[in-house]
């Protein structure tokens, strides 16, 4: 078989063009010298072209993935390999940059969109424009575009927003999370994006952590079970698949990302990006097991945590990234850093960037999320390789893993998105799944001041009902962080959905009068003789360190609304929050109490259960404390004395014919 070379870089591959042309001429030297020089060159060209299809294995989908990876890797220059290891923010990219630096991946950070009112078509066109830049390179390696689709395709206007993970943990329903994963994958793919930074499989051990709602539970086993969402995002892994090998089923599935490796849910005082103090046994028994399950289920990528373990930054922890994740657990996908994660290896961040590049790549990170300073990273890594601080084998390992995922998911065969699935974004079947998830996630904590006098289900027929609270008619508040913008939003204008108030209005009898006032005073409540009241209060949206809270209180004026309303009329309080919050001081005046978590766009699901069309079935996925002074407090701790224990949840029966 002939090996192909090039002077132009477009047809042959190699460095010394003259030598290889002479080599080819020598092979065919028996050809009559009477052929003209022009004829000889035409014959040579024909011989070369005739061998292209057989020689370029990486372009042949019939070849095994390993053969395609090996073939492509053998053709790549150092610059092309380093480019594959780079992921930059779309704001920093152009098609020319993708081509010039051989960029392997792009991402949209929270709220990073083609334009403020971007349609599905706008997303597709943007992704394809960048992709065309990548495809125009010498080897035509497609880039992979990633996005934080952590509770649905949450950056995209009018997409279905599912409950955050803490609510899904309360359902205990693995089939449901698989269907949520599949719906999310379809909506993400519909916009031309093949890679989702989900799921978060942190085991949150302290609700003061601002990312606790991204965790399914404080209980390791429950988090392990919920990794079934990977089977929805990527597809069911085929029987007989090799352990640790990534798997993506087709054009309506995405590469998933288990995050954040490892121990991010165990930081001291729940401070984001901080230090997890734990023995090796505690780390491996509490925080590591969900990664076992994710790898068994074929997860394509793993994202490294900002946090440290016993003082060592995870982004520089080769013992865990290479020694444990890759070698012991046999993970064959690629490991990606978090946003500017390698910068945080030093304190202050970015103070010795060359060292950060050396430490992170040596530790086993394969793809580095560098939103902006990609040229600095490329230059530093090239220097470190050329001067043998980082061996070429480490670069080849990283690039092989990245290419393995790209080949496995069919990105080389289908690099460009089309418009065939545009109607999937926010589709009614997906909203129906989200509404089901809301119903199953609700946890009934109290039902009546007397056990034999339950308040729920509420009667649909009543003369007048008061709905109060800052969260009753606020789509942004009920969706929480990671929705449209990084930190979420307030109000009903930024996307499509049903507020809890709208759901209540559609659930009650047409003759029932609904009176909504966000913060009613005592005189108003007493003068209207309400049959009962529904109070909806909770936390305002937050993400990451902005959600770290030492006190975990309901946002004002929530406590005052509870006192005013529940002190004067029979009431049910619905808490919208990303975690348990302080509720004991008000519990005695509340008739019924519901933890609704962060339900997403389908607020009708709350009304479905309040009025008895469906049962309360949710169980607490984490312990509800009495006082923040008890924290951290988790099931099994010797000082365990909760207000409501892990697994608690009252039930109701559906009411027929109302």
Strand partners, 276: 309
- Tokens 């560098």 correspond to 370
The answer to whether the CB of 522 falls within 8 A of the CB of 543 is no
In this structure, how many other beta carbons lie within 10 angstroms of the beta carbon of residue 422?
16
Angle between helices 65-75 and 392-408 (to 10 degrees): 130
Q: Which of 218, 219, 338, 602 is catalytic?
A: 338
Q: Return the structure tokens found at 157.
A: 């206007």
The answer to whether the CB of 248 falls within 8 A of the CB of 254 is yes
Decide: residue 28, CB within 10 A, 0-12 exposed, 13-18 middle, 19+ buried. Answer: exposed
- Tokens 């994006």 correspond to 193
Mark whether 509 is an active-site residue: no
Give me the DSSP letters along 118-167: --HHHHHHHHHHHHHHHHTSSS-PPPEEEE--SSBSTTSTT--BPPPHHH
Cα separation of 235 and 162, whole Å? 19
Residues 6+ apart with CB under 8 A from 162: 151, 152, 168, 180, 183, 184, 433, 434, 437, 600
Q: Which of 273, 424, 544, 613 is catalytic?
A: 544
Mark whether 218 is an active-site residue: no
Strand order in 443-447's β-sheet? 443-447, 592-597, 571-576, 532-538, 464-468, 513-517
CA 24 to chain centre: 52
Residue 371 phi/psi, 5-degree rounding, is: -55, -40
With residue 379 as reference, give the H or E element that holds it. helix 374-386
Nearest Cα neighbor of 140 from 58, 62, 51 is 58
Cα separation of 574 and 595, whole Å? 6
Active site residues: 338, 544
């Amino acid at each position: 078989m002939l090996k192909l070379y090039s002077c132009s870089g477009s047809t042959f591959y190699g460095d010394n063009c003259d030598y290889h042309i002479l080599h080819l001429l020598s092979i065919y030297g028996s050809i009559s010298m009477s052929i003209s020089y022009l004829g000889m060159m035409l014959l040579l060209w024909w011989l070369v072209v005739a061998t292209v299809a057989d020689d370029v294995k990486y372009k042949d989908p019939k070849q095994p993935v390993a053969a395609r990876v090996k073939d492509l890797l053998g053709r790549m220059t150092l610059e092309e390999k380093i480019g594959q290891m780079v992921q930059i923010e779309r704001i920093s990219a152009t098609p020319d940059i993708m081509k010039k630096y051989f960029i392997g991946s792009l991402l949209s950070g929270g709220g990073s969109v083609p334009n403020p009112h971007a349609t599905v078509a706008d997303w597709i066109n943007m992704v394809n424009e960048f992709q065309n830049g990548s495809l125009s390179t010498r080897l035509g390696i497609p880039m992979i575009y990633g996005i934080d689709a952590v509770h649905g395709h949450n950056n995209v206007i009018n997409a279905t927003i599912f409950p955050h993970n803490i609510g899904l943990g309360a359902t205990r329903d693995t089939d449901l999370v698989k269907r949520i994963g599949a719906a999310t994958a379809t909506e993400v793919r519909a916009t031309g994006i093949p890679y989702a930074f989900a799921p978060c499989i942190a085991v949150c051990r302290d609700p003061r952590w601002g990312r606790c709602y991204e965790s399914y539970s404080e209980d390791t086993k429950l988090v392990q079970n919920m990794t079934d969402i990977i089977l929805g995002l990527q597809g069911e892994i085929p029987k007989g698949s090799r352990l640790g090998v990534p798997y993506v089923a087709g054009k309506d599935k995405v590469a998933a990302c288990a995050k954040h490796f490892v121990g991010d849910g165990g930081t001291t005082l729940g401070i984001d990006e901080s230090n997890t103090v734990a023995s090796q046994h505690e780390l491996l028994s509490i925080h590591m097991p969900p990664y076992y399950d994710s790898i068994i289920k074929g997860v394509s990528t793993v994202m490294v945590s900002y946090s440290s373990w016993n003082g060592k930054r995870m982004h520089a922890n080769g013992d865990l990234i290479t020694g444990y994740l890759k070698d012991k657990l046999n993970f064959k996908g690629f490991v990606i850093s978090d946003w500017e994660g390698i910068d945080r290896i030093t304190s202050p961040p970015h103070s010795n960037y060359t060292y950060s590049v050396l430490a992170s790549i040596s530790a086993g990170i394969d793809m580095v999320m560098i939103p902006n300073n990609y040229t600095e990273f490329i230059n530093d890594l090239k220097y470190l390789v050329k001067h043998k601080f980082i061996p070429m084998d480490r670069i080849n390992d990283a690039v092989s893993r990245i290419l393995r995922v790209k080949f496995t998911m069919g990105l080389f065969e289908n690099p460009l998105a089309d418009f065939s699935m545009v109607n999937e974004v926010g589709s009614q079947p997906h909203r129906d799944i989200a509404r089901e998830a809301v119903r199953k996630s609700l946890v009934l904590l109290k039902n009546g001041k007397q056990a034999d006098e339950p308040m729920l289900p509420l009667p649909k027929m009543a003369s007048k009902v008061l709905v109060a609270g800052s969260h009753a008619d606020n789509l942004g508040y009920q969706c929480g962080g990671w929705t449209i913008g990084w930190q979420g939003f307030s109000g009903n204008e930024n996307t499509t959905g049903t507020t809890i108030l709208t759901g209540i209005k559609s659930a009650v009898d047409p003759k029932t009068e609904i009176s909504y006032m966000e913060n009613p005073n005592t005189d108003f409540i007493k003068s209207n003789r309400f049959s009962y009241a529904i109070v909806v209060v909770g936390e305002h949206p937050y993400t990451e360190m902005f959600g770290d809270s030492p006190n975990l209180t309901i946002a004002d004026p929530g406590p005052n609304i509870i006192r005013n309303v529940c002190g004067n009329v029979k009431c049910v309080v619905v808490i919208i929050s990303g975690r348990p919050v302080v509720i004991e001081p008000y519990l005695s005046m509340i008739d019924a109490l519901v933890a609704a978590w962060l339900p997403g766009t389908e607020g009708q699901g709350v009304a479905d259960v309040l009025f008895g069309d469906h049962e309360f079935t949710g169980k607490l996925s984490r312990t509800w404390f009495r006082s923040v002074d008890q924290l951290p407090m988790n099931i099994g701790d010797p000082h365990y004395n909760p207000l409501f224990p892990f697994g608690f949840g009252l039930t109701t029966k559906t009411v027929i014919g109302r």
